Chain A
Amino acid sequence: MRSKKRSRVWLAALPLYLFTILFVAGPLIYMVVLSFMSKSDSWGIEAVFTLRNYERIGEPVYRECFVQSLKLAFTTTFLTGLIGYPFGYFMAKLSPSKKRLLLLLIMIPFWTSSLIRLYGWMIILQAKGVLYQTIRFLGFEIKPLKLLYSYPAVVVGMVYALLPFMMLAVYSSVDKMDWNLVEAARDLGASAAKAFWTVTFRLTLPGLLSGVILTFVPSMGLFFIADILGGNKIVLVGSLIQDQLTRGADWPFAAALSVVLMTITTLLLILYRRIANTGELEGIV
């Protein structure tokens, strides 16, 4: 009876297996295969093995693109951490009712269409937009702003879009922390700064790291933020892949770019697992 019960339970997971193999593993394997194929002279691909696609990534134009994407991702992640860590920390110290309210207030923008929020930034940053009007209102005579379609605008958009992930990740790990440990450190003579550094920071590191992953990984691929707020001036790996798929019609090259991006992502995830000692990302749900 028992063995029979157990033997049939795998049937429940069967749809998941089939779907995952067919539509997750399959496409990803095909991507790797595709990255070693050649582009045919006309539209399409040829099943001829080549390393040319990977060699091309080394060309200055494309290398520059990866460097710029990484730079933007680092800047974004750093700023998100700078704002998100103290936010999560202070939030976890609030009273339970205030915590719940704040959580709800974070969820609203989080659940609002990312395009709506990007559009809001266009309204604020445009030449004679709200920011310009505000500065004028404060009594400063300035020329219309040139902020929209610039690098800083893209950074603002990225930080803005990814901040909630960081806030929630840090919050959930600070909230779980045992404050008695901090008190113990203080009782044993540690200064507030030292207690924070040796106890609080160490214990909440998994949350921070989880936030870093949740910010860094998407920021490599969110090409539409750079597209809308950067106005085609900033070419990221994401925009490059999109370009190769549509206008360039060079799918094998797009696949090679994706494989490299995927490798960077995977390495980061492995690094995270090593440091945080867990596979689950904190605060993701």
Chain B
Amino acid sequence: MKRKSVFPSLFLTLVMIFLYLPIVMVVVYSFHESKYTYGWSGFSLQWYQELFQDEELFESLRNSLAVAGMSCLSAAVIGTLGAFGLSRMKFRGKGAVEYVTTLPIMIPEIILGMVFLSFFSLLNLPQGMVTLVIAHTAFSIPYVFMMVKARLAGMELSLEEAARDLGAGPVRAFFDITLPLIAPAVASGSLLAFAMSFDDVVISIFVTGPKVTTLPIRIYTRIKFGVTPEINALCTLMLLVTVTVLLLSVLIGRIGNRKK
């Protein structure tokens, strides 16, 4: 019995080490005083200093935040309303509609990138911020849609109907009753959408123009053409933000669960 219980934990630990090894390396070498990412010759914060003077990186960070923010917001609105509307309707071909809606996260990103590039040029849309936001919204909607749909499926209609019977209009009933109930799903879907948008390389490379560069594209070109240790520092900071956001969302989730 004893021998049986050692193997699983050993296996789980080894896989977790595999998952964390590259991340730890990036963090460790962000404090390396040399620009080489092997060996160890001393501790330094110089890459962080250089990072904060790198206007190019900050500009792409601003672009990324703008794209992720706008696409996540529009996806939250379109996806939530869509999931709500569809859940209250019954018609033939509803499955097909839902299938097409979630298609953007089911097909390889490269196809989505190619498809958007050719379609936007057909429409003569100038490549840049607008095309980025449209493309990102398209692959963000499924995350919100699926989360909200799952939440609505497990919900009772009685409260909403009670509100309607008491004279609330459909809009009022939605905002006062339904929306607060599905809010956690909207929040987690939007968060996921934001993260996916903020991290996207493949689709962005295709749809952006020469003037607008997002952070992942900038990082991609830098690590592809020569190693720049500033990127280590940047990655460490981004990691810090990710961990903070994740811990916060767990905490909020805990509080939310307790309320239930």
Whole-angstrom distance between the alpha carbons of A20 and B77 in the complex? Answer: 14
Given A265-B108, A279-B95, are A13 and B38 also a contact pair (CB < 8 Å)?
Answer: no
**Smallest CB-CB separation from B106: which chain A residue?**
A269
Q: Which of A9, A90, A123 makes the CB contact (< 8 A) with B25?
A: A123
Which residues of the partner chain A approach B89 to less than 8 Å between Cβ atoms? 6, 9-10, 13
**Are B108 and A24 touching (Cβ within 8 A)?**
no
A84 to chain B, nearest CB (A): 9
Q: Is A117 an interface residue (CB 8 A)?
A: yes
Contact digits for B174-195, partner A, Cβ 8 Å, 1 yes 0 no: 1000000000000011001001
Which residues of the partner chain A approach B243 to less than 8 Å between Cβ atoms? 108
**Are B8 and A123 touching (Cβ within 8 A)?**
no
Given A112-B242, A251-B118, are A218 and B12 also a contact pair (CB < 8 Å)?
Answer: no
Whole-angstrom distance between the alpha carbons of A126 and B242 in the complex? Answer: 27
B166 to chain A, nearest CB (A): 13
Number of interface residues of B (CB under 8 A): 89
**Smallest CB-CB separation from B7: which chain A residue?**
A90
**Are A15 and B78 touching (Cβ within 8 A)?**
yes
Q: Is B67 an interface residue (CB 8 A)?
A: no
Given A113-B238, A121-B22, A224-B202, are A218 and B109 also a contact pair (CB < 8 Å)?
Answer: yes
Q: Which of A49-57, A99-107, A174-182, A198-206 contacts B (4 or more CB under 8 A)?
A: A99-107
**Are A114 and B38 touching (Cβ within 8 A)?**
no
Q: Is B199 an interface residue (CB 8 A)?
A: yes
**Are A265 and B239 touching (Cβ within 8 A)?**
no
**Are B141 and A19 touching (Cβ within 8 A)?**
yes
A74 to chain B, nearest CB (A): 15
Q: Which of A108, A113, A218 makes the CB contact (< 8 A) with B219?
A: A113
**Are B219 and A19 touching (Cβ within 8 A)?**
no
Interface residues of A in 196-226 (CB under 8 A from B): 217-218, 220-224
**Are B246 and A5 touching (Cβ within 8 A)?**
no
Number of A-B contacts (CB under 8 A): 251
Which residues of the partner chain B approach A78 to less than 8 Å between Cβ atoms? none
Interface residues of B in 203-260 (CB under 8 A from A): 205-206, 216, 219-220, 223-224, 227, 231-232, 235, 238-239, 242-243, 245-246, 250
Whole-angstrom distance between the alpha carbons of A105 and B174 in the complex? Answer: 36
Contact digits for A84-112, partner B, Cβ 8 Å, 1 yes 0 no: 00110011011000000010111111011
Q: Which of B15, B84, B122, B219 makes the CB contact (< 8 A) with A83?
A: B15
Given A112-B242, A124-B21, A265-B106, are A285 and B82 also a contact pair (CB < 8 Å)?
Answer: no
**Are B20 and A115 touching (Cβ within 8 A)?**
no
Looking at A123, A164, A251, A284, the one whose CB has the most chain B CB atoms below 10 A away is: A123
**Are A126 and B38 touching (Cβ within 8 A)?**
yes
Q: Which of A5, A30, A132 makes the CB contact (< 8 A) with B38?
A: A132
**Are B85 and A9 touching (Cβ within 8 A)?**
yes
Whole-angstrom distance between the alpha carbons of A30 and B114 in the complex? Answer: 11
Whole-angstrom distance between the alpha carbons of A38 and B238 in the complex? Answer: 45
Which residues of the partner chain B approach A91 to less than 8 Å between Cβ atoms? 12
**Are B114 and A13 touching (Cβ within 8 A)?**
no
Given A121-B22, A130-B38, are A11 and B119 also a contact pair (CB < 8 Å)?
Answer: no
Whole-angstrom distance between the alpha carbons of A19 and B81 in the complex? Answer: 12
Q: Is A23 an interface residue (CB 8 A)?
A: yes
A193 to chain B, nearest CB (A): 14
Whole-angstrom distance between the alpha carbons of A107 and B244 in the complex? Answer: 12
Q: Is B63 an interface residue (CB 8 A)?
A: no
Which residues of the partner chain A approach B18 to less than 8 Å between Cβ atoms? 160
Q: Which of A11, A129, A242 makes the CB contact (< 8 A) with B85?
A: A11
Q: Which of A28, A245, A284 makes the CB contact (< 8 A) with B146?
A: A284
Q: Is B117 an interface residue (CB 8 A)?
A: yes
**Are A238 and B108 touching (Cβ within 8 A)?**
yes
Given A16-B85, A129-B38, A163-B19, are A221 and B29 also a contact pair (CB < 8 Å)?
Answer: no
Which residues of the partner chain A approach B245 to less than 8 Å between Cβ atoms? 111
B205 to chain A, nearest CB (A): 8
Q: Is A255 an interface residue (CB 8 A)?
A: yes
Q: Which residues of A contact B (CB under 8 A)?
A: 5-6, 8-17, 19-20, 23-28, 30-31, 34, 83, 86-87, 90-91, 93-94, 102, 104-109, 111-124, 126, 128-130, 132-133, 160, 163-164, 167, 217-218, 220-224, 227-228, 237-238, 241-242, 245, 251, 254-255, 258, 261-262, 265, 269, 279, 284-285
Known: A115-B235, A255-B114, A258-B115. 4 other contacts (CB 8 A): A20-B100, A28-B103, A34-B118, A119-B223
Q: Which residues of B contact A (CB under 8 A)?
A: 8-9, 11-12, 15-16, 18-26, 29, 37-39, 77-79, 81-82, 84-86, 88-89, 95, 97, 99-101, 103-111, 113-119, 122, 134, 137-138, 141, 143, 145-147, 150, 164, 170, 174, 188-189, 192, 195, 198-199, 201-202, 205-206, 216, 219-220, 223-224, 227, 231-232, 235, 238-239, 242-243, 245-246, 250
Closest 3 CB pairs of A and B: A120-B22, A16-B82, A13-B85
